[in-house]
Structure 1
Amino acid sequence: MSELNKQKIVDSVPQKGFFGHPKGLFTLFFTEFWERFSYYGMRAILVYYMYYEVSKGGLGISEGTAIAIVSIYGSLVYMSGIIGGWFADRILGTSKAVFYGGIFIMLGHIVLAIPGSISMFFVSMFLIVIGTGLLKPNVSSIVGEMYSEEDARRDAGFSIFYMGINLGGFLAPIIVGEIGMNYSFHLGFGLAAVGMLLGLIVFMMTKKKNLGLAGTVVPNPLSKEEKKKVYSSIGIAIVVLAIILAITIPLGFLTFESFITIVGILGFLIPAIYFTVMYRSPKTTRDERSRLIAYIPLFLAAVMFWAIQEQGSTILATYADKRTQLEFAGFHLSPTIFQSINPLFIIIFAPVFAWIWVKLGNRQPSVSKKFSIALLFAGLSFIIMMLPAYLGGENTLVSPLWLVLSYFLVVVGELCLSPVGLSATTKLAPKAFSAQTMSLWFLSSAAAQALNAQIAPLFTKISEVAYFGILGGVAILLSIILFLLSPMIQNKMKGIK
């Protein structure tokens, strides 16, 4: 996309109207609010639905397998963002990708809401994976299109957008979790489908007035000749994949264990391939190549951070269910309510961090230093979780305040990394690969959860002290290394702050 087109898009968006930000931020804020309500509502009860006994409305899968499946599912959700980014960059544009993605997500939750077999469960997962891949990276890309690269409101705008994400994430475990855990898992999944429907309604009713040209331009469209080749390749790939599955599953070659390994490899192989393709592309300028090099350590730091943060829906969810005293201050707590703590803290502190970055202006820490701070707090959040087992053993129920403190620490890190990473990605992205680079950012979560699928089941096999201590220690060590490399990384960014 040329500089002229970028400025034309910015000029088409009403620049005042939502807390001093472009009016389109309202549309994207509430679209993402409802999409995240549906996603986090489903995720709040997913691991319990999988390992609870059939007599309690669950699927009766073992706890370790349930944790691995949730991690793999999370990895595939973010991995599919590469497909969504490619379709947005080459065929659909980001706005249409968001709309079609919402349709797939809603259908996936509807399938989950219908009592059925494990086969139906995997059908729903497929629909949600494809839908989230189309919607998630592209709605964030539209946010970036509304601001010029020099706009000082940019980081603050992403922080406000991120607050909308977490407002949905805060309400969903309370509402969907309460219904799902106390009445019916399937009714809870049905509420998630309604949430996505509301998000689609907001998007379609307000986008024309609020977004202008944002999301409508296909930055790197396919030529007629390329379309024929691409569509033929997609058709062949689908047929080949179907044949492979039809052969390997009955013969026992494709097992759940081997699938975990495959996804684990793809979680790191796919971003490596994309970095290489973008770096070597003739459409990438010399300065853009330098910025891609600077992006690599940020990507790896994000992988380590999300590997800890994403365990809130797996390891910490089972910890809340089995190791936490749920009778507290005269109230009985649902284990799902702990998944609202993370977004609650973000709602409270996101405006504070947005104000701090604006107040500091050019004196604020560099992107890489913010990432190193994030890793430090992520590591501390797991070091804290060592203490209950170290002080009182692993066979007693512990105060819920331990979980609250752990979530608080990781939130401090998240506010230094996630909105900053979204903003940095839109600034460091090569112009010909804008949506795909945003997909690459979400691949850090895919790689993190692919990694979690390998290591999280160890929680049931080794001591809590060892599990939390090793992961927390590794994060703190990487934080120190990244801080020391910060000047070199900043130099590679070629003027981007």
Structure 2
Amino acid sequence: MESETRVVRERTFFGHPRGLATLFGTEMWERFSYYGMRAILVLFLTAPPVRGGMGLPNVTAVGVYGVYIASVYLLALAGGWISDRILGPRRAVLYGGAVIMAGHTSMAVPAGGGFVWLGLTLIALGSGLMKPNISAIVGDLYRHEDDARRDSGYSVFYMGVNVGAFAGIQVVPWLQRGDRWHLAFGAAAVGMAFGLLQYVLGRRHLKGAGEHPEHRLTPEERARFTRIALPTAVAAATAMALWAASGTLTLDRFTIVLTVLSAVVPAAYFAFLFTGTHEITPEERTRLTAYVWLFAAAAIFWMIYDQAGGALTLFAQERTDLNILGFDVPPGWVSNVNSVAIIILAPVFAEIWIKAGDRIGTPLKFAVALVVIGLSFVVMAAAAVAASGTAKVSIMWLISVYLVQTIGELFISPVGLSVTNKLAPHAFVNQMMGVWFLAVALGDSIGGQAYRLTSVIPMPMYYLSLALVAVVAGVAMLVFSKRLARLMRD
């Protein structure tokens, strides 16, 4: 009896498979490094060189931030393909984590901008390899279970994301105080090292989930891939070299090109899926049609939500009174309201999704998320009005914005991971997790470029314009939610 009890305990984690604990911990530490560094990135890019920063204008820094965040998710499609065809999800997560750690280590070197750009590149590459595949392994733990239980599992997993985000946002900006930028970047590297250790020690609990590629390349396919990939890489490198040699390459122009790329890649990938057979059944293709609309809705949501590290962080630094009872709160700490709220609310929403079952469909959840995220920027517009002139506003404005956004996030983010796993064609499971992150990439890159509007329109109008886009999209999603549910076979 004692032995049986021990086995049961070994296989459960908050009532879920024991392997979820391994993935929970790994993702938690990866998010510690990611969100900790993100909380100070725009501040570092805009800080003058005499304070150890890069000295970029606000508009340029937010554009760089937007395309960096977009690149993290844009590369998830390639990471999913590598996992599906070559490595398998388990090894992809391991290798991706190692590259991320190398990127943060590079940023910790106080030797000029070259190490910063190298570090951002490595973090984006590693994240592209790790992010879709750790999420796919979570789904694989529930391959024989119903949708509601899988939604619940993703919500618990998402709580781990925000535990890590909370810790990272607390620790890294605190270490950065006094312009100790590279010490803070080093802490992010240590966090990723802990994540890798957690993953290696706990992989035995995954019980075969994500162990092998879903559709390993044949020798012929591998040769064809090599013939295409190498010339493409050489052509891209040559184009960049020629652009730099022409003297027309600037950070602003480069971010615009990457924004266009973030729109072209998902459009091309969906076109690929809808043309030819690719081992996709007619029913799977019907579900993909519904998924395209969910993808567009998610991109609009992230366009607003991920301005937390850009526009909202600058608003916290420049327009918010951060002195609380004599203590100056670091600007990066304010966004932690979101992490705290999610840690508290994620288990509640996980339980709600189980009890609601199929009564609350995915399109309806997406519609609510869009309306809520739009309303958060209505609040932000009011804060911008209150901060007109030289006045600084109470920190409660930003706290209110983050609390509203948290509600919207819980309606779309863990649910989006789950529905992607559900609607993905069998031959493209891990790649489709990468496609979900392409929605984040598209939204982030557009959001970063949208901030350029602040040079020609007042800040309140900027926030209201984005709010209108989200609310209109949410209402449209609500109107067509039943039709989308039928396409999804929900």
Q: Same fold (TM over 0.5)?
A: yes
Q: Determine which of 82, 91, 99 is the counterpart of 2:94.
A: 99
Give the Å deviation of 1:183. Answer: 5.3
Note the aligned Cα RMSD (angstroms): 1.5
Q: Is the Cα–Cα contact under 8 Å of residues 278 and 433 in structure 1 kept in the other structure?
A: no
Q: Is the Cα–Cα contact under 8 Å of residues 51 and 62 in structure 1 kept in the other structure?
A: yes
Deviations 1:240-276 (A, max 9, x none): 2222222111103433333222212211111111112
Unaligned runs of at least 5 residues, structure 1: 1-12
Give the Å deviation of 1:228. Answer: 1.6
Give the Å deviation of 1:461. Answer: 4.0
Deviates more, 1:15-24 or 1:412-421: 15-24
Matched, 1:322 2:318: yes
Q: Is the Cα–Cα contact under 8 Å of residues 20 and 138 in structure 2 kept in the other structure?
A: yes
Identity over aligned pairs, percent = 41
The letter of the residue matching 1:321 is: Q
Q: Determine which of 421, 429, 438 is the counterpart of 1:434.
A: 429
- Matched residue of 1:215: which SS? coil
Cα distance in 1 for partners of 2:169, 2:178 equals 13
5 Å-filtered alignment, 1:350-365, equals: 350-363=346-359, 365=360
- What residue number does 2:5 align with? none
Q: Is the Cα–Cα contact under 8 Å of residues 113 and 186 in structure 1 kept in the other structure?
A: yes
5 Å-filtered alignment, 1:144-163, equals: 144-148=139-143, 150-151=145-146, 152-163=148-159
Give the Å deviation of 1:181. Answer: 2.6
5 Å-filtered alignment, 1:100-115, equals: 100-115=95-110
The letter of the residue matching 1:404 is: I
Q: Is the Cα–Cα contact under 8 Å of residues 66 and 444 in structure 2 kept in the other structure?
A: yes
Cα distance in 2 for partners of 1:462, 1:292 equals 38
Cα distance in 2 for partners of 1:481, 1:422 equals 22
- Matched residue of 1:136: which SS? helix
5 Å-filtered alignment, 1:412-451, equals: 412-451=407-446
Cα distance in 2 for partners of 1:392, 1:77 equals 33
Matched, 1:187 2:150: no
Deviates more, 1:137-146 or 1:271-280: 271-280
Matched, 1:35 2:30: yes
Evaluate the alpha carbon distance shift between residue 391 and residue 128 of structure 1 in structure 2; reply closer, same or farther with a 3 A threshold.
closer
Matched, 1:62 2:57: yes
- Matched residue of 1:182: which SS? coil
Cα distance in 1 for partners of 2:48, 2:444 equals 25
For these two proteins, the number of residue pairs brought into alignment is 481
- What residue number does 1:334 align with? 330
Matched, 1:289 2:273: no
Cα distance in 1 for partners of 2:59, 2:460 equals 18
Q: Determine which of 268, 271, 274 is the counterpart of 1:273.
A: 268
Q: Is the Cα–Cα contact under 8 Å of residues 28 and 161 in structure 2 kept in the other structure?
A: yes
- What residue number does 1:166 align with? 162
Give the Å deviation of 1:418. Answer: 0.2
Give the Å deviation of 1:93. Answer: 0.3
Cα distance in 1 for partners of 2:455, 2:32 equals 30
TM-score, normalised by the number of residues in structure 2: 0.95
The letter of the residue matching 1:75 is: A
Deviations 1:161-208 (A, max 9, x none): 000001100111110110013351100000000000110011011102
- What residue number does 2:42 align with? 47
Q: Is the Cα–Cα contact under 8 Å of residues 156 and 347 in structure 2 kept in the other structure?
A: yes
Deviations 1:359-413 (A, max 9, x none): 22232x1100000000011001000011133345242100000000000111100
The letter of the residue matching 2:384 is: A
Q: Determine which of 15, 18, 41 is the counterpart of 1:20.
A: 15
TM-score, normalised by the number of residues in structure 1: 0.94
Q: Determine which of 166, 171, 181 is the counterpart of 1:175.
A: 171
Q: Is the Cα–Cα contact under 8 Å of residues 132 and 433 in structure 2 kept in the other structure?
A: yes
Cα distance in 1 for partners of 2:268, 2:248 equals 26
Q: Is the Cα–Cα contact under 8 Å of residues 151 and 414 in structure 2 kept in the other structure?
A: yes
- What residue number does 1:252 align with? 247
Give the Å deviation of 1:460. Answer: 4.5
Give the Å deviation of 1:55. Answer: 1.4
Cα distance in 2 for partners of 1:312, 1:149 equals 37
Q: Is the Cα–Cα contact under 8 Å of residues 76 and 438 in structure 2 kept in the other structure?
A: yes
Evaluate the alpha carbon distance shift between residue 17 and residue 125 of structure 1 in structure 2; reply closer, same or farther with a 3 A threshold.
same
- Matched residue of 2:334: which SS? helix
- What residue number does 1:234 align with? 229
The letter of the residue matching 1:289 is: R
- What residue number does 2:474 align with? 479
Deviations 1:98-135 (A, max 9, x none): 01101110000000000122222111111111100000
Cα distance in 2 for partners of 1:417, 1:438 equals 15
Cα distance in 1 for partners of 2:386, 2:140 equals 51
Q: Is the Cα–Cα contact under 8 Å of residues 315 and 459 in structure 1 kept in the other structure?
A: no
- What residue number does 1:10 align with? none
- What residue number does 1:204 align with? 200
Q: Is the Cα–Cα contact under 8 Å of residues 382 and 406 in structure 1 kept in the other structure?
A: yes
Cα distance in 2 for partners of 1:453, 1:400 equals 23
- What residue number does 1:312 align with? 308
Q: Is the Cα–Cα contact under 8 Å of residues 14 and 22 in structure 1 kept in the other structure?
A: no
Cα distance in 1 for partners of 2:9, 2:131 equals 23
Deviates more, 1:315-324 or 1:447-456: 447-456
The letter of the residue matching 2:162 is: N
The letter of the residue matching 2:225 is: V
The letter of the residue matching 1:48 is: L
Give the Å deviation of 1:14. Answer: 9.9
Q: Is the Cα–Cα contact under 8 Å of residues 346 and 410 in structure 2 kept in the other structure?
A: yes
- Matched residue of 1:153: which SS? helix
Cα distance in 2 for partners of 1:428, 1:187 equals 43
5 Å-filtered alignment, 1:393-408, equals: 393-408=388-403
Q: Is the Cα–Cα contact under 8 Å of residues 149 and 427 in structure 1 kept in the other structure?
A: no
Q: Is the Cα–Cα contact under 8 Å of residues 14 and 212 in structure 1 kept in the other structure?
A: no
Evaluate the alpha carbon distance shift between residue 437 and residue 14 of structure 1 in structure 2; reply closer, same or farther with a 3 A threshold.
farther
- What residue number does 1:409 align with? 404
Q: Determine which of 205, 216, 219 is the counterpart of 2:214.
A: 219
Q: Is the Cα–Cα contact under 8 Å of residues 63 and 252 in structure 2 kept in the other structure?
A: no
Q: Is the Cα–Cα contact under 8 Å of residues 377 and 466 in structure 2 kept in the other structure?
A: yes
Q: Determine which of 362, 367, 385 is the counterpart of 2:362.
A: 367
Unaligned runs of at least 5 residues, structure 2: 1-7
- What residue number does 2:134 align with? 139
Cα distance in 2 for partners of 1:374, 1:186 equals 37
